[in-house]
Structures are given as structure tokens and as C-alpha cells.
Structure 1
């Protein structure tokens, strides 16, 4: 296992430390500011952000599931927001080192849960890695989300997604509707690209920023950092660049019809 030092972000050092995700992406400066503000508020709720002491994306972020920004029922569990090890750092034990930090803090809890994809998806933690470390799939939600759990207390309730993500009902059905939070530093910049693309196509767009854990826990999607709907149908949790939007929009219209 790697023995590289791990830094724990907190209210005292967060302004001097990078937050991994957008470490060298200048266009995401505003998103980084919003993310750090979001973290400052979550620290008070027990969030932990731990990263390898390197200038790369090698980190884990977790908090008590009661405060998770995700519609899950997992009382007494810890919820992993993200476990990310950049490609050049994989295979060196860093993932195990970070997960061990979470396991140590989870002693006395019912267990640990995380959201993955049925198959490997960008932005979602790797299900195979969790399964390799003893987690099991305990619930699914359309179209491809899965909840994995590592139970410490076998008598505790098995975690599950809330009913809102099974029905995926949204109020806006005329065009595009985006749900997002400040949890991902990339969203604020790319919302602008989505807005431009939608305007040029004449597609109505409603952008809804989720502002609290309570709101997130009643969202129609497990991935509240960024989830896009078209005419009431879930489209993707992957951030829409302008190029990706242009490649995808005709497929949405063909499948679900013209906006309006």
C-alpha cells in the first residue's frame, strides 16, 4: 500500500489547498470558489475531504449519509461522494490508502454506501473497485445508477434509493431541465455552454441549482451534481460541453419529440 502523505482539508487550510477536481483548469475558477464555499458549509455536517499530497486528482470525499446530497435512505451510514484516482496514479495503492481513511472513520457506523453505474460511467465511482473491496450492490435506479454498500452491522436496514429517483418525475416537460449543485467545480462554466446551445436550437431550458441537503434528498436523480432531463426524461449525468450537446441533441429530439 502507498504511504504517501494524505492531507485533510478543513476550514483552516482550504483556501491554501487545491481541491483536486479542477486543479489546473482556469476556466473553472468560479466553480472552484463555489465548491470551496460548499465544502466550508459541509465541514460543519461532518464532511471529510482527504487528498494525496500531490498536485493531481487523487482524493476521497465522504460524509454522514443523513447529510448526503443524494436521495438515499441510509441511516447510520457514511456516504462516499467521490473516490477518484487519476490515471497516472492508479495501481500504486492510493485508492486503498484513501478508502482506508474512510473505513477507519466509519467504525461504529452501520457501514458505507456509494453511488456507482451499472457499467463504468464518467464522473461515477468505479463499481468494480468497490466490489473488489467487499461492497455489494443493494439497490438500483433508472436508467443505470446503482447503490453499493459495505455493511458493518448486519442488523441495520439495508440502504436504498428514495422513491423520487424511481419515478424520476420532474415538473418541466417543455424542453431541457438541468439539476445541479456547487459540489462539482465544472458545472458553473459548462452551464453557460448548455444555455447557448439550447438558445440557438430554440429549446426552452430551466436551470435549477439544488441549495440544500434536504432538497437534494428529494431530487429525481441520484447524481445531483449535474443531471439533465429533456421533456421530462432523464438524459445524462455527464456534463454537457458545447460539442457534446451538438452531437446529442438530435437524438433526444428523435426519441422524445420536438420541444414545447
Structure 2
């Protein structure tokens, strides 16, 4: 077993909210709101239909289920918060979904167990919650098949992201619970791209995500100064 790349305080934080993952008006409303954008971005690049997919840091299964519904042949969601996985498993069973399943295992340990297994690997809104994001990126690169797709999303680290993601989202607009994010753990796109390349991933695209205060809706854009997604292809032979 590898040394677990987990922040116990982060696991506890999400465990306390585990029963609320599928409340579309509660603490996870922003994830439900951005999920169609994430899903379309992934599908446009990787064409999910018939694919074998891994969702790293799946939480309650919001993205995992949507990728299964989009046509993925099978989806495995992994997370280290067991209570979140219980919520995910229960919800999938209620929807009679037989092409999605969940496991409580670290991505590093799964990479040892199932290398080069998945057509698509997603790791969304997770890198900023772990002690060693580079370790997660290396594991994702090992898990994907040669020429497969790996997707990351996280938050940029600059003054604007502090104002928008911490002050605005947590304290003024109350979009997410206070204390959800630690600004010092945010990752600049250049840093993420460098870690991806070191893990033998080629960056194919990067897209920003912004929030319109008037419409109260999220939209994709070229501005990566706060939230962003990155699409990568495996360079493994």
C-alpha cells in the first residue's frame, strides 16, 4: 500500500456533508450547476459513448452518474470519504444504474492495481484538496490507456481567485460553505501543465469557467483566472 495522499480534515469536511450531495439547492448546488458544462467539455474531447471511465474524487457521484448516462460503458468512481461513497452507491441503485460503481481506494493504490485500464480519467475539483497533487496526476496518467484522455479541474492561484472563490463564493454569495477552499492549495494552469507533462500527459486544451452574477449561471470562457478545466492526452506508447 502506498502512503495515503489524504488530508484528514478535508475528508471529515466532506463526510459531514455526505447526505447532502444530491440536494440541488444545498451546499453542493454549484457542483450541480457546473456539471453539465464539465460533462459536455469531457464528452466533446473524449466521446464518452462506449468508454471505460474512472472518476477520481467522485464524492457523491454527480459527475460519475452523468457520464454513465451520457453513454459510458462503465464508470468507476473512487473517493476516500466512505460516507460520500455510501450516498453515491445508494443514489445509483435508486436510479437502477448498473454501469456505475464505487470504491473507497486512493488513486495511487488503484494505479498499482489497474494500470492502463481506462479510456477516460477525470479528476475534477479534487487537486486543491490533497497534500500532493502531483502524486494524483502521476497516478491518473498511469491509470489511463495509451492515447487516452485525462481531465482535471481546479482553481487558479492569484489575487482574483482569492476574491472570487474565497471572499465572494464563501462569504458574500454563500455559494459554497465557508472553509471549503484553502487559497494556498490552488494551482496555476502553468503549474498544472508542468505536472501533467512530467507525468507523460500532453495538454490538449484549457478552458475557464465563470459565474454570471445577474443570471446566476456558470459558463465556459477563455478566462482561466479563477476556475478552469484542462484536457490531456496520454503520451505513453
Q: TM-score, normalised by structure 2?
A: 0.34
Q: TM-score, normalised by structure 1?
A: 0.32
